[in-house]
Amino acid sequence: MTAEMKHESVRFLMNHYFYWSIMLDNPNVVEQAEEILNGIGRYNDFDPEEVIKILKAVEEKVNDFDSPVSHTPFRVTIGRENSPVIYIECHKSLCDMLCDSFKAAKADEIYQEKTNDRNKIKIRAFWD
């Protein structure tokens, strides 16, 4: 991505509804997420650094061979619905950890939804 494209992406991110979705099973994905989260920047209680820590913790669990969710892909969608929002679709065993982490990161709304895969859950965290 060129510097001009990054600037345009960040400008768009700041002014409109926006969603960026990626499967977190490839290298450098947290770096990619960091760019988007830092593009959103701080907003009320939303702190991109706190969300980055959460993504790194999930990535560690997924990459830990002793973890029950070892190498289970998960999807993260980062965006704005006027305010910052993040959706994570992951193995249901990560649900409590994620909800507690988002609560600690001062998310105003945290929802859980079932998915078509009985082993996965979708979590939405929203900062207003």
The residue with greater pLDDT, 9 or 95, is: 95
pLDDT at 16 over 60: no
Q: Which domain holds residue 23?
A: 3-126
Q: pLDDT tens digits for 24-55?
A: 555 566 777 888 888 888 999 999 999 999 99
Q: Is the pTM of this model over 0.85?
A: no
Number of domains into which the chain is organized = 1
CATH of the domain at 119: 3.30.565
In sequence order, the β-bridge partners of residue 124 are 87, 111
User: What's the pLDDT band for 69 if we cut at 50, 70, 90?
Assistant: low
Q: What is the pLDDT of the chain when averaged over all its residues?
A: 80
- 18-23 and 75-81 strand pairing: antiparallel
**DSSP of 32-83:** HHHHHHHHH--BTTB-HHHHHHHHHHHHHHHH-TTSTTTT---EEEEEEESE
pLDDT tens string 85-105: 999 888 888 899 999 999 999
